[in-house]
């Protein structure tokens, strides 16, 4: 397995998919902005306090 494959998929999901455009629109909302500041973008984990 080529080690570049996971890096490529991560790049495509975070930069090329519609996620950045959607997040840009959602950042206008106060509640989503607070949520995004506490939550990891890619790796599910406990929210920051």
Determine the structural domain holding residue 30 and report its residue range.
Answer: 4-38
Give the up-direction half-sphere exposure of residue 45: CA atoms within 13 A in the CB hemisphere. 10
Number of domains in the chain: 1
- The mean per-residue pLDDT over the stretch 33-41 comes to 84
Sign of the CA dihedral with 3 first, then 9, 14, and 15 last: positive
**Is 49 within a domain?**
no
- Residue 47 in this model has a pLDDT that exceeds 70: no
**Is 45 within a domain?**
no
Query: Is 0.75 topped by the overall pTM?
Result: no
**Is 43 within a domain?**
no
Closest CA to 15 of 42, 47, 46: 42
Which pLDDT band, with edges at 50, 70 and 90, does 43 fall under?
confident
Rounded to whole angstroms, the Cα distance separating 35 from 42 reads: 14
**Is 30 within a domain?**
yes
Task: Determine which of 17-21, 32-36, 38-42 has the lowest per-residue pLDDT on average.
Answer: 38-42
Q: What is the pLDDT of residue 16?
A: 85
């Amino acid at each position: 397995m080529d080690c570049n494959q996971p890096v490529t998929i991560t790049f495509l999901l975070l930069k090329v998919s519609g996620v950045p455009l959607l997040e840009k629109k959602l950042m206008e909302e106060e509640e989503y902005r607070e949520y995004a500041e506490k939550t990891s973008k890619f790796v599910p984990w406990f929210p920051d306090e």
